[in-house]
Chains A and B, each alone.
Chain A
Amino acid sequence: MKEKRDLKIQAIENGTVIDHIKAGQALNVLRILGISSAFRATISFVMNAPGAAGIKDVVKIEGKELSVEELNRIALISPKATINIIRDFEVVQKNKVVLPSYVEGVVRCINPNCISNSSEPIKSKFSVVQSEEDGVTLRCLYCEHVISENIAENLL
């Protein structure tokens, strides 16, 4: 069984492996990291892979180590994801994502009358709060609207 799984999620020589992504969120992880067709590194991902704690998604970025700040944004949509930095086939660093307290240019404000949704030369800005009642919420620093659900649907 172990061998089969390793075939699906092949080791990489250098780069970043984002593991334990909430199943179905791998594409959103790429969006949240701003990875588009212009991105030059090799990326592979597995969706709905069986893991110890149920199914999960995995994203591997070869030959590139992303910054921790960039990677922590993943916590907005997948708080249990882990980040593995790989050098020479070895995991040199393994961290859980940490919810950032502020995000810029990542999520669209849901208030249609917000200045950040106009053609002004600004990026959306949110403060991020985690509370027991409401989970992760984003507060727009321009119009003060709060996004508490559907964060993934509002990714830019």
Chain B
Amino acid sequence: MSFKNRNVISMKDFSRKEIDHVLDTAEKLEPVARGEERSRLLDGKIIALLFFEPSTRTRLSFESATQRLGGQVLNLGSVEASSVMKGENLADTIRVISKYADLIVLRHPLDGSARMAAEFAGVPIINGGDGSLHHPTQTFLDLYTIRRESHLEGLKIAMAGDLKYGRTVHSLCHALSLYGAEITLVSPPELRMPQEIIRDLQKNNIRIRENDSLEEIIDDVEVLYMTRVQRERFPDPEEYEKVKNRLKVTGDLLKNADSSLKILHPLPRVNEISPEVDSTPYACYFKQAFYGVPTRMALLALATGVIE
């Protein structure tokens, strides 16, 4: 299996075997991500971070991953402000930056931009989020977190919050379906998972149930993946207030949880997880943020070919 020069655009481009390989590589690199071991794997390599919309967390995570492996970052900063690319189309920008760097991490507001960039780049593209479509490195890190903190095979997982617009839950569901997960979807009726995605998952023989209350399902899941419900999704502010409290993880809710339950959240959170949960062994979201570093290290190392 060679990942050299491979683009990371969408989770759907990866088989289960390939995902496992990325996660195995991340695990090997974890001591480096923690700063416990030194690595010069990316010595002499330049990684360009091309962010057309701000996402400080993702950008810093890639920056940390590169530097931990001894690579150099070409950080183009906020691209709107940069005069180099003013008025230039993305295709030309990609062609130029390809000449400056060994790999490009792209974040762009238009759907399909990463796919297009890969057509013009002479170097691998890692999609750091394109429009409302894909954010594969987030899904890789979610999978890595689940594997490290719980288990992937036959996982009983609940996903809660905005399941309609949340791209991370869509591709996470798809990836988990490769591991035979049992998925419970918890959302207000307005924000249900789109039917075509559910149909796709069922094609993989996945057991899916839908619910609108966390209380009813909390005792029967091993991982709870929370996402943020945005106020602006609701035309009626009262409806939002109701939902906001119904989909909230509190100490009270967790009284019925299995002791091995792990709670994940892509962050930032607003009020869907109360601070009292942070100090419990259930809370995994800050670890999850850290796991983004070894996961991105693995993808950088594999795509540049410094690891087979």
Contact = CB atoms under 8 A, between A and B. Distances in A.
A116 B110 CA distance: 9
A49 to B, nearest CB: 40
A106 B86 CA distance: 30
A120 B90 contact: yes
A115 B89 contact: no
**Chain A at the B interface: SS class:** loop
B131 A143 contact: yes
B181 to A, nearest CB: 22
A141 interface: yes
A144 B133 contact: yes
Interface in B74-104: 89-91
A92 B25 CA distance: 61
Nearest to A144: B133
Contacts of B113: 115, 142
5 contacts: A113-B131, A114-B112, A142-B113, A144-B133, A145-B111
Contacts of B109: 113
Given A113-B131, A122-B116, A142 B89 contact: no
A115 B119 contact: no
A44 to B, nearest CB: 40
A96 B190 CA distance: 46
Nearest to B111: A143
A67 B101 CA distance: 42
Interface of B: 89-91, 109-113, 115-116, 119, 130-133
Nearest to B90: A120
Contacts of B111: 111, 113-115, 142-145
Contacts of A143: 111-112, 131, 133
A120 B116 contact: yes
A122 B92 CA distance: 12
A142 B91 contact: no
A122 B119 contact: yes
Given A142-B115, A142-B116, A143-B133, A118 B91 contact: no
Contacts, number: 48
Contacts of B90: 115, 118, 120
Contacts of B119: 122
Interface residues of A, number: 16
B89 A116 contact: no
Contacts of B110: 113-115, 118
B132 A113 contact: yes
Which 8 interchain pairs have the tightest Cβ spacing?
A142-B112, A143-B111, A143-B112, A115-B112, A115-B110, A115-B113, A115-B116, A113-B111
Contacts of B112: 114-116, 140-144
Contacts of A111: 111
A142 B130 CA distance: 10
Interface in A132-149: 140-145
A118 B109 CA distance: 12
A129 to B, nearest CB: 13
Contacts of A144: 111-112, 133
B91 A122 contact: yes
A119 B90 CA distance: 9
